[in-house]
Amino acid sequence: MIRLNFVRTLRYSPSSWHRRRAIGAGAPSCVGRRCAHSMDDMLKRTVAPMPTYETRDKSPPPAEASSLEFMRFYGGLERPQKLELLDKLSAQCGVDHRGVSELAAKLLEAQQRDLGTVLQVEDRLRYSLTPRYKLLLSHISRVEGGVKFLVDLRADVLEIISSQACDSPHIRDLNGALKSLLSEWFSAGLLQLERITWQSPCETLQKISQYEAVHPVRNWTDIKRRVGPYRRCYAFTHSAMPGEPLVVLHVALTEEISDNIQSIVREFSSLDAEEDIKKINAAVFYSISSTQAGLQGVELGNFLIKKVVRELQGEFPHLTQFSSLSPIPGFTGWLLGLLKGARGGGLLTGPEWEEVAAVAAAPGPEGLRKLLSDGEWVRSERLAGALRPALMRLCAWYLYGEKRRGYAINPVANFHLQNGAVLWRLNWQADTSARGITASCGMMVNYRYFLEETTANSASYLGSKVIATSDQVQNLVSQFQKMSKL
């Protein structure tokens, strides 16, 4: 399966407000007005004024102690106080809006003058749009543990936004500034690709196990197999966060492109087996997990896949088949929502409804909805066989036809299609675990990477919103359009 975060599936889980303190103990506790007063005082000490335009390159940086003080103070706060501090930081230490307005007016006046004058005013305006807190964030990144602190800080900001604990536009601006800085610091050129093996540090293996949330690692023997023969595990790391995998990719080396996850995570070769190169014809990316909630939206997963493809081609020059085996999070929820609505009766054909009625406690959409909700339908071969055509075409449409702003609504699909993959094959009973049945009625999908076509496919999807599909998927979509009435 492929998970994004970025996608959560690229996995971006909200970080807990009660996580272990990044900087440790020693920060002052505070409540009520006294806390607000101490926050104001702390911000005055730690957030330096913006240097003037003329002295922007000459002003000495603030003392390292200011950054450390802010980190200690923030680390000692509970959730409500963190929210209050971030609100104050973003609102009181942001952009000088009055100065921006004055420079914008000057820029309009300067249009009648020479180009040099116009460019100089534009540069002044650009500088004035820098929020004051950006200086603090930049200086925090230079102290030990500072980058990790800012990654966790953005995770808190994202949680504030997603939970709607605060609807301040200043908080959203702070999130944008943090994302911009982190995107620079975690660009592909600054990341190191590391292959995880059984000889990797125990702490690294433990983290890899903990981060694997979709196909949980059962024990040490399990993780040993996942980094053993016919398997590869890679991670991006960064020098500013030593010992912390940022995004992890698991790969199965197989004879053919896998159509089910059971054959990958439950059926293993011997731990001491020698790899037979003749049996390695395909590389299947079955799990990708972003480990840092604060890096959501920072492109890491797509770069990791491309880097791993080059790495595998170096190891196996004959290897040409690259594909994901991905989950379809959200499909069952989408389908249950349709069954609950007025149009639920148009999802299946007459004969298909008759098959459902023969075993369902309640007739029609409500009966099917109950069957799919409890997952018991998979125990009946007759019912599963009857539902297969309908569920396959509905799932194909969900991946292909359900859109948000013209792009695939499913986050995993959107991730791979942006990368230039082809929506290649929908697989029945590909994940028979309870989680797989609950999330996608047991189905999974292969996104196939034809290396010579990925650039064109990516441009077509991002520019024209065209999804590249195989004949199998297109046939299922056509069946949906012909047989389902939505």
- The catalytic residues are 326, 416
**CA separation for the pair 211, 288 (Å, rounded):** 10
Distances (CA, A) of 391 to 287, 372, 396, 417, 426: 24, 11, 8, 22, 11
Where helices occur in 9-145 by DSSP H, the ranges are 32-46, 64-75, 79-92, 97-110, 115-128, 133-140
**CA separation for the pair 108, 454 (Å, rounded):** 44
CB 412 within 8 A of CB 326: yes
CB 242 within 8 A of CB 191: no
Residue in this structure with the two tokens 């620079």, named with its chain if needed: 184
DSSP letters along 427-454, please?
ETTS--SHHHHHHHTT-EEEEEE-TTTH
How many Å from the N-terminal Cα to the C-terminal Cα in the chain?
Answer: 30
CB 486 within 8 A of CB 343: yes
Helix and strand numbers, DSSP H then E, in the chain: 20, 9
Distances (CA, A) of 228 to 95, 135, 196: 53, 46, 10
- Which one, of 389, 383, 339, 395, lies nearest residue 364 by Cα? 339
